Structure 1
């Protein structure tokens, strides 16, 4: 089939336009393979209109997806928005040529309407196949109409007889052949004939253009009628030769429909509790929670990461942001109720008794729950595994997951065999060997049998989570997942593909309201140069795998895509970190600010006698004798055996008295008492130490040096790197935000440079808005009315105190909030009463934010009858505690929650009153 593409696009001198085309995927859930796209160079005579004649084979595929890009001598300069590509259906049986008159598609402002969150959940519609046409010549009109609601169908009506003469009863139905993209095929001969017959003059030239006048109109399944706004459309059409299909791509249709806003709930899967769960929430409980969300007119359920985090088989694995695999799901989430029963009645009864015991606990017993579930799955695998692994369903699963599943299974086998996740200690297996893949993939080999259990578990988990996802879509509920910024240092991802990581530093976050010493997550930092070199395939695969389970996602610590806080591996706290990448400062540049830069003094711990006395008080002499060595005058240095935080940590391991903690933390403070840290790549360059104004070194400066340091510090952290970090983020985030159709949300809290908002606005990423942590530095509390529409509004995150805890955390601040934000006089009541929590929640719901997602604990806060008496028992995580035990569970079952009509009506009323449904 001969196809001619034409598109207006003004290029710079020397640039050329490419058309990238491939047969459309039959199954959208499969990962998009960009290597399948063939790049074809287009031609131009004037630098403004580009054309391409090519041949497409209808026998190979009747549907093609394509996009345009611009190539310069340095490579691809820019591309169209690729999330929803152009689509061409070859459905005209008598056609021998297609002529496509196209238009370039940039990032639309309403990208969210093309996300699966809207197309498959909120505005759910079923797409139709394009009907075949046997017209001798066809005029195809293509238009995008992303604002249409669920159940609405697009039609075209116009002035010409073939378009219904403005009679809605004769409007022509259109076909949604792509997400939010509608087409209609008009018989060109009939169209021209009807126009000619309607002319009052008898002389009509056969080669005369005709002018169509029309409008798009949407019909709802409940009888609604929505006309597109603006003037009538007109289109001048040249006569079509026989055998041609002319495709006219039109400007987007626009309807006067309000922006949709939805409410939702955040709760980790592990925190769910049902009558039948096994001491921890599972994927079956997820369906029950979806029922409650839908019942209360909410449209979104957000969870924390669900990836496998099993590294030590102890409670420290409860940290869900330290996954061992970015693909594998956590075995603890397996719903045993969905699996065949154990045939051994004695074992079955024993597990049922254990299930009842564990399910009755107020919190998760992580170790007992996971040991029990693993044992149960092992017994079931012996009973059913061979048959399951022989099914076509499993073979199809293995085919699509083999890239990550095989290394993951071997990693788990070797972890358990060696009794440690530290793969550096695995003799002969310190790194994944691609040569092992063949034997691990062949059911006849012992290697396959060794790891088959892990294949089986992941297959079961995948099917259960997919089922929950399908269930949510059917109920119009968006499932929102969470993508952690880091991975476990000893996890499968690092073992499998070490080239993507830097193991000589630790990722974390600089000091903020969560932790005055910064956060040290212990994750390796990424080798972004390597990742960017292959188009960030590691991340693309990760996102595309996630779209099988979710329709929206939260990017944990989006700042990490601009720069990460890299901490030396010998540090415990995060204060001696530095941003990577970042523009470090030379000695000369530091001096140019007026600071008398003394390299040895400013980059090594400054330990004077007065500092030791102030920190350690009555223990000062003991510290000087045991941990310090005298240098000169009243200046000391740390003894070599205590000169790093890791050495100090090891020296005080197991010591928990108040004095030991005092001494340990004091020694940490001495090590951190520097004004600058050396750049990790170039030791002759420097970074000002984060929050150095709070340390003793800064206190010892003369006032003019303090002023100079403050000027330097503010320039460095708030201005110097903005453009640089913008460019760094734009190397990564455009690729990732277009890798799937999931709705992209970001956690953009903390020390946020201006460039973050630039990038998020450009890529249409939803921001996170907390009234208690405003992005405007001039206000103490955010004004909800100023929230952007493309944002997620919330009261707390899993890392923060709940609303009730926050209310009692700082009475003075709460009083200001009570008077200035809630506009109430008098003293703020404590603890937070239910009626006041309801008022606070109501205000959040009425904000302009697209999504208002509250933790289940904050939803509970509005009703004193239903909420826990102890607010502190509802906390999920405390970031200041590096090894926090993540074990929060709902205090009531989901069945009890669903049955509580009084409470559910209260939630429903709040949501309906705010127009979020």
Structure 2
């Protein structure tokens, strides 16, 4: 059998196309082995393969576009399947290239296919009868009772008569129909349209000009046409969601912290108000120290295990073991009455009770078929995680480098620990038991939310915990000598140091990003969509050396360095010590330390022959200074000394590239704010600044783009969840382009405009493929922000809200409501709000002190993540007037879901 592939695609000189697919002739889905195509004419490329008869029943394939620079771009269509007719000697396929950033592809992701769009139940019979051409097309945004139809210039097409169009049948995600053109000899023109089968009425034509079909194939050589998407408006669907960490939920039955079971009540409320999505922060296990530090949800000891703190003990006990909880009823009630989460007390009590429940239930759970399936699907991470927890508890630390044994992971050893003959067997099984019940409870909550028409959106942290199970089991996947963070911004003037090791992307790519595939598979058990925390890290990550404490000492990795010759090319006499080492003279000391300058010079510095100073070896890194003051009294005096020494250490212009022998360098960020820069002469200042701007804002962009294209397309291919990127901060120019081309939704925040020439972003200017929100968990709420800077809120009040006169000192509910409505009226696909911001629409429901509602402060590395709702979910469900008002806002803005979970009319004639 011979198969002729034709694809409609217009190219320029130097560009090429190829085909990849699941058969040897198409390279077995390996891009490097894809079949090259040949240029046919300005509209088509072609390729031909021959297959042995009686073999393959179908072929799944897709096209690859290669730019003139050699960049490979996969098309967006992943479901192009050709069923082979054994009676045909030749099959011709005519395809349409599908742009990976097409809006329509978003509607084929999990939340839309599983939850929002009701499956069409009209025409579902198989295409039958004789035909010469099989037409296949997609149309995700149809209303109930609507189907795709065909009209055209021949008798087979109905001669353009809208009263008698050719109706297509729905098969999987394709609409298709087979037509016989054996009696037609000339090219025919046609268009798709929409027909309502209930009303028997033609609804509308697709947009654009006519499609043309040349009938130059013999009748015994069937033609399959994949026509892409019906050309209909694809930016009309809009949804709204609520964002809240699981730990912040409060119900009458939760145990001092939000639990997975509380998501059911939240889903009830979301469905009642018309919201379509619940967004949560990471829910992975963070129990490393059993202190408030474990409240940080982005510091998980496992990228796969769920956090035991979210378990509902009553559900674990069930009716059979409910009596075991009676002794703890008062403790649970007291914890649940607290205004904030007491993380330490909650996790301590829950693990204690879980161990008792495990002991009295013995190993009955292991006999359950669902557990056995869970174990087999997850044992690649579950066994190492359980062993890690056992060793953590045995040695009193998660820092595996300090364990007396097993500090280096051994897979065979871990598997032996899980056998019944092992002395650790019972302790290992306990963690299997906990994770199994967490899995059941989260799956149950998600299934309930789906039944209410609500999608669940998760969060993928950009890093892994340095002392966690992932680093223990596969340290080669991470750069352990570096710390991830963020460069300085208005929220953290010295940058952020998250402490995570950075990803070793080269190593991850060697096995096709297996770890990421496993991670996405695990997430897809529970989530329909996810937010990529700090998507900029896939372009380049702010990397801080292990000896630094503050983010200011970081640099982007990877990055193209400055060569030493670039200084001399600009007439700069390169002085290694002056540029590379901290610049310290008497004036700098006075400037930083004031009357403590002499003491600092004596205790921490050494005077050089030229009168300048250098840090003593015991204090020449921030980590050494941090260790020194850790043993000192916690006083304001010592704090000022410590931070002043940090400033001295960071008072440099350049960092040397490792292994370059003094030939390559990186600029320290914000050098213009350093005393070192201030003391340069004007000529050197000018040319150093030129190099600085080139380094950060010009030479890297294409390099960073290619870096992202090595990772993001492969990762996006690994999942059908809807992907949203948190693209905030110092954004390279290529980021919006790459995200758009991949169909990844951006994040747009009103007070963090991406245009440096504007003070505020207006939601009306949001792109369709985006999420708009007035605040995130890393920010103050709307009301909290309003009180931070009266000058700024005054400008916001007049310019963005369009109000005249003096802005109120506090953000009154009518102002908060107006901001919420601005976001609901945005053209963005999604508007998502922190629950606190929605409650602030109502005078009686808002929390009196808005500053108690902030979830996290990124400038504080020791922030306690313990915010809780100030009312219960049961109370919220009873607030009929508030819920009715919110639903009316959503309906008026076209964002409300239907209580019956039916698809709204999204296409108008």
Instruction: Verify same fold: TM over 0.5.
Output: yes
Provide the residue aligned with 2:225 in structure 1: 248
Note the alpha carbon deviations across 1:862-907, whole angstroms, 9 max, x for none.
2121111111110100111111111111111111111101111222
Moved more, 44-53 or 564-573: 44-53
Deviation of 1:911 after TM superposition, in Å, equals 2.0
In structure 2, the partner of 1:667 is 645
Aligned 1:251-400 pairs, distance under 5 A? 251-256=228-233, 259-341=236-318, 343=320, 347-384=324-361, 386-400=363-377
Q: Are the aligned partners of 1:94 and 1:135 in contact in 2 as well (CA < 8 Å)?
A: no
CA distance in 2, matches of 1:366, 1:237: 71
C-alpha deviations, 1:770-797, integer Å up to 9, x for none?
2211111112222333222222111111
Q: What's the offset of the Cα at 1:284?
A: 1.2
In structure 2, the partner of 1:680 is 658
| 1:880 equivalent in structure 2 | 859
Task: Give the corresponding residue for 1:29.
Answer: none
Classify the secondary structure of the residue corresponding to 2:608: strand
For 1:56-455, list aligned pairs within 5 A.
Answer: 65-69=60-64, 78=72, 80-81=74-75, 84-89=78-83, 100-110=93-103, 111-125=105-119, 131=125, 135=129, 139-149=133-143, 152-156=146-150, 174-179=168-173, 181-185=174-178, 188=180, 215-219=192-196, 226-230=203-207, 235=213, 246-256=223-233, 259-341=236-318, 343=320, 347-384=324-361, 386-436=363-413, 438-439=415-416, 448-455=425-432
CA distance in 1, matches of 2:413, 2:860: 40
Indicate conservation of the 8 Å contact 1:774/1:780, yes or no: yes
Partner of 1:563: 540
DSSP-derived class of the 1:591 partner: helix
8 Å Cα contact 1:155-1:219 kept in structure 2: no
Does the aligned pair in 1 maintain the 2:21–2:29 contact within 8 Å?
no
In 2, the alpha carbon distance for the partners of 1:280 and 1:151 equals 45
Q: Which residue of 2 aligns with 1:7?
A: 6
Moved more, 460-469 or 645-654: 460-469
CA distance in 2, matches of 1:98, 1:666: 75
* Aligned Cα root-mean-square deviation (Å): 3.4
**CA offset at residue 694 of structure 1?**
1.4
Q: What is the DSSP-based 3-state SS (H/G/I as helix, E as strand, rest coil) of the residue aligned with 1:66?
A: strand
TM-score for both structures, normalised by structure 2: 0.89
**Residue equivalent to 1:868:** 847
Aligned to 1:21: 22
The counterpart of 1:722, out of the listed 686, 694, 701, is 701
- Secondary structure of the structure 2 residue equivalent to 1:848: coil
Secondary structure at 1:294 match in 2: helix
Aligned-partner SS, 2:688: helix
* CA displacement 1:699-753 (0-9 Å, x = unmatched): 2222332222222222211112111111111111111122212222111111112
- Secondary structure, counterpart of 2:551 in structure 1: coil
Q: What secondary structure sits across from 2:499 in the alignment? A: strand
* Cα deviation 1:227-264 (Å, max 9, x = unaligned): 2324665645578767x764322242123565222221
Query: Is the alpha carbon distance of 1:445 and 1:374 closer, same or farther for their aligned partners in structure 2, counting shifts above 3 Å?
Result: same
1:176: Cα distance to partner?
Answer: 3.6
Is residue 551 from structure 1 mapped to residue 523 from structure 2 by the alignment?
no
Q: How does 1:353-752 map to 2 (within 5 A)?
A: 353-384=330-361, 386-436=363-413, 438-439=415-416, 448-632=425-609, 634-653=611-630, 655-684=633-662, 685-752=664-731
Measure the CA separation in 1 of the matches of 2:498 and 2:235: 42
Q: 1:839 aligns with which of 798, 818, 837?
A: 818
Q: SS at the partner of 1:283?
A: coil
CA contact (8 A) 1:99 1:247 kept: yes
Q: Using the alignment, how far apart are the partners of 2:297 and 2:556 within structure 1?
A: 25
Aligned-residue offset at 1:642? 1.8
8 A contact 2:2–2:48 mirrored in 1: no
Please name the residue that 1:897 is paired with.
Answer: 876
Change (3 A) 1:77 1:705: closer
2:235–2:768 Cα contact (<8 Å) kept: no
* Match in the other structure for 1:819: 798
User: C-alpha deviations, 1:595-621, integer Å up to 9, x for none?
Assistant: 443210221112212222222223223
Check whether the contact 1:673–1:695 (CA below 8 A) recurs between aligned residues: yes
The secondary structure found in structure 2 opposite 1:674 is coil
Contact kept, 8 Å, 1:480 with 1:554, in 2: the verdict is: yes
Range with greater deviation from structure 2 (537-546 or 766-775): 537-546
Residue 765 of structure 1 pairs with residue 744 of structure 2: yes
Aligned to 1:26: none
SS across alignment from 2:787: helix
The SS at the match of 1:339 is: helix
Give the 3 Å change call, closer, same or farther, for CA 624–223 of structure 1 in structure 2: farther
CA contact (8 A) 1:148 1:218 kept: no
1:399, 1:106 → 2: CA distance?
38
Change (3 A) 1:308 1:173: farther
**CA–CA distance in 2 between the matches of 1:429 and 1:233?**
66
Tell me, yes or no, if the aligned pair for 2:187 and 2:212 is still in contact at 8 Å.
no
Q: Matched residue of 1:607: which SS? A: coil
Normalised to the residue count of structure 1, the TM-score between the two structures is 0.89
Question: Could you say which residue in structure 1 is the equivalent of 2:905?
Answer: none
Distance of aligned partners of 1:591 and 1:233 in 2 relative to their CA distance in 1, 3 Å threshold: closer
Secondary structure, aligned partner of 1:632: coil
Deviation string, structure 1 residues 389-413 (Cα, Å, up to 9, x no partner):
2222222222222222222222222
Larger deviation: 669-678 or 545-554?
545-554
Query: Which blocks of at least 5 consecutive residues in structure 2 are unaligned?
Result: 897-909
The answer to which of 553-562 and 680-689 deviates more is 680-689
The answer for the alignment partner of 2:901 in structure 1 is none
1:789 counterpart = 2:768: yes
Give CA-to-partner distance per residue, 1:423-473, whole Å, 9 cap, x none.
122344223223236535656665654422222222222233233333333
> C-alpha separation between the residues in 2 aligned to 1:384 and 1:171?
65
CA shift, 1:580, in A, is 0.8
Name the SS of the counterpart of 2:560 in structure 1: coil
After superposition, what is the alpha-carbon deviation per residue over 1:617-666, rounded to whole angstroms, capped at 9, x for unaligned? 23223222222222235422222222211121122226322111111111
Contact 2:107 2:113 in 1 (8 A): yes
State the distance in 2 between where 1:911 and 1:561 align: 34
1:794/1:853 contact within 8 Å kept: yes
Q: 8 Å contact 2:133–2:224 — kept in the other structure?
A: yes
Task: Determine the C-alpha separation between the residues in 1 that align with 2:225 and 2:29.
Answer: 28
Q: Secondary structure at the match of 1:7?
A: strand
Moved more, 459-468 or 669-678: 459-468
Equivalent-residue separation in structure 2 for 1:712 and 1:516 (angstroms):
23
Structure 1 Cα separation of the partners of residues 605 and 290 of structure 2:
39
1: CA distance, partners of 2:200 / 2:843: 43
Cα distance in 2, alignment partners of residues 224 and 467 from structure 1: 42
**C-alpha deviation, 1:5, in angstroms:** 4.9
